[in-house]
Amino acid sequence: MRLSFRICPSQASENIREKNPVRLVRKLALKKAQMVSIRFPHHWVLGADTIVVCQGRILGKPKNPRHAEKILRTLNGAWHKVYTGIALVHEKLGSRLVSHEITKVKARRVSPEFIHRFSRKHLDKAGAYSIQDHDDPFIEKIQGNLDNVVGLPRKTLKKLLSLCKLGMDST
């Protein structure tokens, strides 16, 4: 997208009691962006959060390899949805733009041994897998936006950025 940016982790707690996946990712993305925007009030700040939902259960990042193994067993051979919320915040302008995207994903059926070995690989990813990792054989099919499963839906981000530009042109 040819944007200059700096990565500034928000340190925001991801513990929010929200059962609706759309509201959850939107709230978390906004919370992250707002926390960083306090430090950079004259800049647009992007926050994003991704979760996986399978069989009605919200699956975030695994706490440890054992938890990752449990998540992967749940996903094994199953369709699930990946939800990503993104938020753009400009503290000085008082602007907050929030959106989300949903993608359907089918995990490949794999052996318990594979799951056990694989469970140590992606402890920092929602769903305990990483679609952008080219040697990641866990995913079979995707219906929707691959960028969303990676964790940053670029088309949705471009739409929000165009709204930012419109807002800046009118101020």
Residues 55-95: tens digit of each pLDDT: 999 988 899 999 999 999 999 999 999 999 999 999 999 99
Residue 17: exposure state from Cβ atoms within 10 A (0-12, 13-18, ≥19):
exposed
CATH of domain 21-169: 3.90.950.10
Residue 1: exposure state from Cβ atoms within 10 A (0-12, 13-18, ≥19):
exposed
pLDDT of residue 84: 95
What is the C-alpha separation between 68 and 66, in angstroms, rounded?
A: 5
Q: What DSSP character marks residue 144?
A: S
Is 49 an active-site residue? Answer: yes
160's tokens: 């929000």
pLDDT of residue 150: 85
